[in-house]
Amino acid sequence: MLGSVLSLWVLALTGLTVHGQITPPSALNLRITQNMTHAISPTLYGYMWEDINHSGDGGLYAELLQNRAFQSVIPKTGAALQGWQSVSGAFLTVTAGTSGVSSALPNSLQVSIPRTAKGPIGFANTGYWGINVQAGWTYTGSLYMKAPNYGGSVTVALASASGTVYDSATLYGISDTYKQYTFTFSPKTSAPDYNNLFTVTVDGASAAGETLYFGMFSLFPPTFRGRQNGLRMDLAQALFDTSPKLWRFPGGNNLEGHTWQERWKWNETIGPIENRPGRVGDWGYPNTDGLGLMEYLDWIEDLEAAPILGVWAGLSIGNYSDLPDWPTVPENELQPYVDDVINEIHFITDPEYSSEWANLRAEYGHPAPYNLTYIEVGNEDQFGPDSYQAYRWQMFVDGINASFPNLGLQFLATTPPSVALNPAYLKIDFHQYATPGWFYNASSMFDTYPRNGTQWFMGEYAVTGTEVGCELGTPSCGRLLYPTLEGACAEAAFMTGMERNSDVVFASAYAPSLQNINSVQWTPDIITFNAGRAVKSVSYYNQQQQLFATNLGTHVLATVPEPNPTTTPLYWVASHQATNNLVFLKVVNTGSADLVGNLFFDFPVVGGFGTAQQLSAGLYPIPGVYNISNTLEVPNAITPVASSFAIVDSNMFNYTFPQSSITVMTFAVDF
């Protein structure tokens, strides 16, 4: 939420004025030169990640059962049964009154079978607002159970809410101590919808009057790349397809906790899932931490990206109306938290079998060290700048550097850029949630950024609303529910500025990433999903697939003119990719009229043609409407359209950039 706080600062720094206007039908004469101004940061486009909107549990983490181990719930409450329901009148309660599955998981599901029971009776899990049942998939399940006086069988099944059983298994050998039971389901038919259940039943006549206990359930569909405890295939694939080069995790606010005790604790997210207690997340629901430190790092390896590891820096989130009172660790109590991060970095980076941390990592399946360069100290510490400046930043940076003098670690600060730090920061994370106007006006903010060795991470940004002052408000005052074409164009205009200045902007990330439509705490998000379907937003297409991130040059090319206040509402950046000798020209029209570009190239275009990927309102039936979104109901309102065009004379080539559009042109060149 740094955005509104820093907006004024940024506008003051850059001296921005209201943008000018190319008045149609006048055309822009634009010359693309061979002059390479600077290298483009290869890490320019990536993701910011945290569990918000059930993006992790119930999202990217492929576990199908909600509240699988009753973590971070209060026993004997209705809320503790989130995701669970009785079948045929069994009485359910969550209890800590019997020994749990492990010391980390003290809570159990207590199931009491009435004395009058007959027929199948038990309970069901509703999944994360449904379960995706697909023929041809093998589902891998497990549960722990015990019963003091019942020795009969237990039936588990994947079934529709109306009773169609897709597959089932029978478990035998229940005793009075917890044991794990495993099973698989292989449905022969796909369910027509996601209104399906995982059921656990016993024969009522045999179990009448008995009590059974259950804990740590799990049910996984096939996962991305078949990883155990892995990721949901369609969501992981959508993220993977965008070739992100950075992955910042584990938050965001979800790193910080509402109290120190509730912070994200790396060592409670590793190893067998039975050892992970989970935590009260920052976004209103418990986190299982099944998607833990090593699952993140494995995923980042799959992406061939670099991690930006957020480390808790002694500040938890309090009430926004009471910033000075946010829980901050005093200087004389901070060292254990620094040591904890040092242990985390040992665990991640120590050479194979070289320490107890490396041995533990090997025991958990990854003997080789993980790659780690970037450490982000805290999150949005503008909310605690005094203590950050006085001791928190320094204790973490100096303490970590002293322990890892040869790792080449780079640290990101999270206070406003104007806050001087000791040691001086070299990288800073800046967040902005704002209106379309803010973003296109700020497209030039890095043009004048001092080249003094510091670099920016635009670590969270998005067009979130249409009204100034209500960017993080409600839909009634313009808050977006989904990214819109208008918003994506403004973001793209801003991105041309980041890319044109990627000697100082080393990375960026739209945020947040995912929203489960059934549990939304923050809008808009780049991908929306339910139990089985995912929708890519306009911003997703703009940011990543087929447009900005996947068409990244190695050097920026100078243009004449460069974008300036008289050339709005067109914004652009040109680049050269040395590997394949390609030139990319990214042009954004944020205006409401089509605009012509007369393009001149200072080099031969090979083959006499170019190609383009474009997002625009295109054939959308209502002209002049730009608040168009892709939703679960209308998933493809705006998708990239590919075209190719002849270039008869590379000395002059006309192209019309439609109203509210983003165009990425590619030319094979010879220089």
- Which x/- pattern over 114-153 shows residues binding ligand AHR (rule: CB under 6 A)? ----------------------------------------
Q: Give the nearest distance from C-beta 287 to ligand AHR in angstroms.
A: 13
370/522 with CB nearer ligand AHR: 522
40/511 with CB nearer ligand AHR: 511
Rg value, the chain, Cα: 27
Number of alpha carbons in the 13 Å side-chain half-sphere of residue 293 = 29
289/376 with CB nearer ligand AHR: 376
310/569 with CB nearer ligand AHR: 310
150/439 with CB nearer ligand AHR: 439
Q: Give the nearest distance from C-beta 389 to ligand AHR in angstroms.
A: 19
Q: Is residue 663 a contact residue for ligand AHR (CB under 6 A)?
A: no
Q: Give the nearest distance from C-beta 464 to ligand AHR in angstroms.
A: 9
474/636 with CB nearer ligand AHR: 474
Q: Give the nearest distance from C-beta 39 to ligand AHR in angstroms.
A: 29
Structure tokens at 56: 């992790």
Q: Contact 404/386 with Cβ under 8 angstroms?
A: no
350/525 with CB nearer ligand AHR: 525
Q: Give the nearest distance from C-beta 380 to ligand AHR in angstroms.
A: 5
Residue choice 51, 63, 210, 380 for contact with ligand AHR (CB under 6 A):
380
Q: Total residues contacting ligand AHR (rule CB under 6 A)?
A: 12
349/432 with CB nearer ligand AHR: 432
Q: Contact 50/256 with Cβ under 8 angstroms?
A: no
Closest to 2 (Cα-Cα) out of 301, 269, 323: 323
Structure tokens at 308: 């930006």
50/63 with CB nearer ligand AHR: 50
Q: Give the footprint of ligand AHR on residues 622-651 (CB under 6 A).
A: none
- Which x/- pattern over 55-94 shows residues binding ligand AHR (rule: CB under 6 A)? ----------------------------------------
What is the distance between the alpha carbons of residues 527 and 544, in angstroms, rounded to a whole number?
Answer: 12
- Which x/- pattern over 322-351 shows residues binding ligand AHR (rule: CB under 6 A)? ------------------------------
Structure tokens at 61: 């983490």
- Residue 84, phi then psi, degrees to nearest 5: -115, 150
Lateral strand order in the sheet of 641-646 = 641-646, 605-616, 661-669, 582-589, 570-577, 555-560, 28-39, 595-601, 653-657
Q: Is residue 379 a contact residue for ligand AHR (CB under 6 A)?
A: yes
Residue 146: CB atoms within 10 Å: 20
- Which x/- pattern over 421-440 shows residues binding ligand AHR (rule: CB under 6 A)? ----------x---------
Q: Give the nearest distance from C-beta 253 to ligand AHR in angstroms.
A: 4
Residue keyed to tokens 């607002």: 129
Residue choice 14, 22, 46, 50 for contact with ligand AHR (CB under 6 A):
50
| Residues with Cβ within 8 Å of residue 431, at least 6 apart in sequence | 1, 2, 3, 6, 380, 458, 459, 460, 461, 511
Q: Is residue 1 a contact residue for ligand AHR (CB under 6 A)?
A: yes
- Which x/- pattern over 517-536 shows residues binding ligand AHR (rule: CB under 6 A)? -----x--------------
6/238 with CB nearer ligand AHR: 6
Q: Give the nearest distance from C-beta 456 to ligand AHR in angstroms.
A: 16
194/522 with CB nearer ligand AHR: 522
In SS3 terms, 378-398 reads as: CCCHHHCHHHHHHHHHHHHHH
Q: Give the nearest distance from C-beta 282 to ligand AHR in angstroms.
A: 7
Q: Is residue 460 a contact residue for ligand AHR (CB under 6 A)?
A: yes
Q: Give the nearest distance from C-beta 315 to ligand AHR in angstroms.
A: 12
380/499 with CB nearer ligand AHR: 380
Q: Give the nearest distance from C-beta 630 to ligand AHR in angstroms.
A: 20
Q: Which residues of 508-517 are buried (b: 16+ CB within 10 A; e: fewer)?
A: bbbbbbbbbb
Residue choice 400, 495, 511, 599 for contact with ligand AHR (CB under 6 A):
511
Residue choice 130, 487, 512, 640 for contact with ligand AHR (CB under 6 A):
512
Q: Give the nearest distance from C-beta 50 to ligand AHR in angstroms.
A: 6
Hey, which residues does 377 pair with through a beta bridge? 311
Q: Give the footprint of ligand AHR on residues 227-256 (CB under 6 A).
A: 251-253
Hey, which residues does 428 pair with through a beta bridge? 413, 456
Quick one: DSSP state of residue 562?
P
What is the distance between the alpha carbons of residues 53 and 431, in angstroms, rounded to a whole number?
Answer: 19
Hey, which residues does 146 pair with through a beta bridge? 213
350/429 with CB nearer ligand AHR: 429
281/553 with CB nearer ligand AHR: 281
Which is it for strands 595-601 and 582-589: parallel, antiparallel or unpaired?
Answer: unpaired
Q: Give the nearest distance from C-beta 388 to ligand AHR in angstroms.
A: 15
What is the distance between the alpha carbons of residues 183 and 199, in angstroms, rounded to a whole number?
Answer: 13
52/570 with CB nearer ligand AHR: 52
What is the distance between the alpha carbons of residues 160 and 152, in angstroms, rounded to a whole number?
Answer: 25
CA distance readout (Å), 591 to 19, 247, 401, 486, 657: 11, 33, 49, 9, 10
349/415 with CB nearer ligand AHR: 415
CA angle at residue 657 from 656 to 659, to 5 degrees?
125
Closest to 534 (Cα-Cα) out of 237, 295, 249, 243: 237
- Residue 159, phi then psi, degrees to nearest 5: -140, 160
What is the distance between the alpha carbons of residues 175 and 213, in angstroms, rounded to a whole number?
Answer: 10
122/251 with CB nearer ligand AHR: 251
Q: Give the nearest distance from C-beta 486 to ligand AHR in angstroms.
A: 20
Q: Give the nearest distance from C-beta 52 to ligand AHR in angstroms.
A: 6
CA angle at residue 296 from 198 to 550, to 5 degrees?
105
What is the distance between the alpha carbons of residues 379 and 313, in angstroms, rounded to a whole number?
Answer: 8
Q: Give the footprint of ligand AHR on residues 88-107 (CB under 6 A).
A: none
Which is it for strands 514-516 and 527-529: parallel, antiparallel or unpaired?
Answer: parallel
What is the distance between the alpha carbons of residues 575 and 536, in angstroms, rounded to a whole number?
Answer: 26
Residue number of the CB closest to ligand AHR reads 252
Q: Give the nearest distance from C-beta 511 to ligand AHR in angstroms.
A: 4
Q: Give the nearest distance from C-beta 381 to ligand AHR in angstroms.
A: 11
What is the distance between the alpha carbons of residues 230 and 399, in angstroms, rounded to a whole number?
Answer: 34
Q: Give the nearest distance from C-beta 276 to ligand AHR in angstroms.
A: 22
Q: Is residue 384 a contact residue for ligand AHR (CB under 6 A)?
A: no
Q: Which residues bind ligand AHR (CB under 6 A)?
A: 1, 50, 251-253, 379-380, 431, 460, 511-512, 522
